[in-house]
A and B are shown apart, each in its own frame.
Chain A
Amino acid sequence: MEVLPAEGLGQYAWLLVALPAFGALVLLVGGRRTDRWGHLLGCATVLGAFGFGVALFVQSLGLPAEERVRELSLGTWFGVEALQVDFGIRLDPLSLTFVLLITGVGGLIHVYSIGYMSDDAGRRKFFGQFNLFVAAMLVLVLGDSFVTLYLGWEGVGLASYLLIGWYQGRPSAATAAKKAFLMNRVGDVGLVLAIFLLFRELGTTQYTEVFARAGEIDGATMLAITILLLLGACGKSGQFPLQAWLPDAMEGPTPVSALIHAATMVTAGVYLIARCNPLYDLSETGRLIVAIIGAITLLLGAIIGCAYDDIKKVLAYSTVSQIGYMILAVGLGPAGYAFAILHLLTHGFFKAGLFLGAGSVMHGMHDEVDMRRMGGLARYLPITFVTFGLGYLALIGFPFLSGYYSKDAIIEAAFDEGGWQGWTFGGIALLAAGLTAFYMTRLVLMTFFGEERWKDLRAGDDSDGAEYHPHESPAVMWLPMVLLAVGSVGAGYLLYSGDRLLSWLEPSLGAEVAVDASPIPHALVPLLTVAISALGALVAYLVVGRHRVPVQRPARVSLPVRAARADLYGNAINEALIARPGTWATRALVFMDNKGVDGLVNGTAALLGGTSGRVRRLQTGFVRSYALGMLGGSVLVIATLLAVSL
């Protein structure tokens, strides 16, 4: 695929990044002066970028497919000997798709935040950091080299850290922010090493050159590169074994969870692997590892999601699980890249909508997140209920809503692998679809249906004096939710039918290679998926919907539930495998420093001190003994001289 210089509108593509960056600068540097209109500027920059993104998209659609990959060089960023890095923008279908998702969904969430954050004294700063995130995310997807990608990668990490720790006063939020930052570092090391390896092998970090000459890299190095890139993706996207930070990241305000930790930033890992598809095409094993990681994560997330009572944590584990689907899809290679992006887009809509719905519930319920203290809210928050319900149906793959198309496509592609891979990946994806239906139905039933348990808390058996006055959120909040719900309903059909997204992405991801080795007929897969999802929902209804939900979390539960409540021991494993040995290593080093290095220094000093303490006793102060010494010494010297000369 030839890369053309960007012309016309494309020459101003830097505006996409510059607008939100400008907003962030004004809001963060401007200080209190911008408090009154800061949120409006924050929304305007992102919506402006969205408008410009749409214009670029329309212009791109007008071009023939082979001219859609364009680059815009903005000059040298830095150059050291052989390492020359240009600051450039790559406009191709893949990056434009992401631009529309980030600025579109991002713009809606910005508008929502005006209402959600209205009581927060630091709202202007919040919008500044939010704009910073959007700018960094756009750098990530628009950059035309791995180094530019890395700049955006770290930028979104910083914004994520700042926003998770938004409620700085809460120790749990501060800890969660640090945890997210540290676990992301682990992944980032992988990404950096992959970039180093690519530079060592090819002497460049520019996508175009790297992908054109990827064939020169030998198999083992390529495998290492793909695994290291995957490590980076695992860190950013909350994939096994680095998944533990994402649920904790829910400590941030809900719009942050919706935008950063559901719709955009956490999908950066999927973007990375899809972007590097020419590398993954060369390494069969690398791709298999990606698919395995995706399969493990999607199952793990779905299992843990069933056990939580915190509405945001359930959604967080659902995100982990859904990104697992995407990673599995990119791991399937040319058969799955486009489906991963499809699921990424539909997931962006419905998961952002679900999070905004959860935020609306929290807004009405005095920031309560425990679903056991909710119930029967459908009557009080009708708009939230409808939009949340549509998002829910889309997520569990209700026929003809977004999730149905995208998830189904991935499951089909997984079965198409054939052999043991087909059975394993397809089976796991199918099983997780049932679990998804279970935990989401449980969430909806506990929140919107059943008894109004929060009433009892005021004056009832389980009373603890907590008062709730559930109420619908203002229009500035429900309007974005409605728009996202429309996306959740329609996006799937719009993108999937007629292979619209597939042919649009073809210049970036290559043509879809249909491998038809499926052990079960294609027509059966959607039916199976829907049937298993329905089964999951039915089980949830039987288990949760028909019984009284206790307000207190039952303590005596079966072993699997206990394991799921403990995040399948993800944190415990991290602690046992990494944190504790780290502590031990540190202690050993401190011991060595104290006893070894310091011992050497202190020992020398003590030896000299002790010796001189003893030797100084020779200075008795008796003149006669000195005289004897002089005499003895002289005799000795003379005797020696005589002995030598003789």
Chain B
Amino acid sequence: MSPTYYLLLSALLFSIGAVGVLVRRNAVVVFMCIELMLNAVNLTLVTFARINGTLDGQIMAFFVMVVAAAEVVVGLAIIMSIFKTRRSASVDDANLLKY
């Protein structure tokens, strides 16, 4: 099976994630879309590791997973506290930091 399909799939997943980040208002969904983008990148890394026959890409993928896990912890905590104070998880409502 050609690695091209893996790359195409990962590009598709990344695009879906990016569009989701841009168009969805719910913070949790936006968060999920970010996870989708990260994992699309992971898929790319692993695919290239396979193509090149080295382990570099797989090691990078592990790093990304660690970062993603840490990010989920911090991000969800922020979303929780925002929701607690303003009863809304919409990213458009949290727009006080502006001009």
Contacts and interface: CB of A to CB of B under 8 A. Distances in A.
Interface of A: 616-624, 627-628, 631
Contacts of A620: 95, 98-99
A628 B99 CA distance: 18
A627 B96 contact: no
A622 B99 contact: no
A627 B99 contact: no
Interface string B84-95: 000000011011
Given A620-B99, A623-B94, A631-B18, 8 more contacts: A619-B98, A621-B97, A621-B99, A622-B92, A624-B21, A627-B21, A627-B22, A628-B22
A627 B99 CA distance: 17
A622 B95 contact: yes
B92 A617 contact: no
5 contacts: A617-B99, A621-B95, A622-B91, A624-B91, A627-B22
Tell me which of A617, A619, A621 has the highest count of chain B C-beta atoms within 10 A of its own C-beta. Answer: A621
A616 B99 CA distance: 6
B98 A621 contact: yes
A359 B87 CA distance: 101
Interface in B59-99: 91-92, 94-99
Nearest to B91: A623
Q: Main secondary structure on chain A at its contact with chain B?
A: helix
Nearest to A622: B95
Tell me which of B23, B97, B99 has the highest count of chain A C-beta atoms within 10 A of its own C-beta. Answer: B99
Contacts of B99: 616-621
Contacts of A628: 22
Nearest to B97: A621
Give the bracket for the number of chain B residues in contact with chain A. Answer: 10 to 19
Contacts of B97: 621
Contacts of B25: 624
Nearest to B98: A621
Contacts of B91: 622-624
Contacts of A622: 91-92, 95
Nearest to A617: B99
A621 B22 contact: no
B34 to A, nearest CB: 10
A627 B96 CA distance: 17
Contacts of B21: 624, 627
Contacts of B22: 624, 627-628, 631
A239 to B, nearest CB: 73
A617 B21 CA distance: 23
A358 B4 CA distance: 123
Contacts of B98: 619-621
Given A616-B99, A617-B99, A619-B98, A624 B18 contact: no
B47 to A, nearest CB: 19
B29 to A, nearest CB: 12
Nearest to B94: A623
B79 to A, nearest CB: 12
Contacts of A627: 21-22
Nearest to A616: B99
A620 B96 CA distance: 9
Interface in B12-54: 18, 21-23, 25
Contacts of A616: 99
Nearest to A627: B21
A454 to B, nearest CB: 86
Contacts of A621: 95-99
Nearest to A618: B99
A413 to B, nearest CB: 91
A574 B4 CA distance: 98
Contacts of B94: 623
Contacts of B95: 620-623
Contacts of A623: 91, 94-95
A627 B98 CA distance: 15
A59 to B, nearest CB: 95
A458 B25 CA distance: 106
A147 B25 CA distance: 90
A250 to B, nearest CB: 73
B93 to A, nearest CB: 10
A390 to B, nearest CB: 95
A624 B96 CA distance: 14
A629 to B, nearest CB: 11
A610 to B, nearest CB: 15
A630 to B, nearest CB: 10
A359 to B, nearest CB: 81
B32 to A, nearest CB: 15
A624 B93 CA distance: 11
B76 to A, nearest CB: 16
A627 B92 CA distance: 12
Nearest to A635: B18
A371 B54 CA distance: 124
Contacts of B92: 622, 624
A417 to B, nearest CB: 89
A618 B97 CA distance: 12
A416 to B, nearest CB: 93
Tell me which of B23, B96, B98 has the highest count of chain A C-beta atoms within 10 A of its own C-beta. Answer: B98
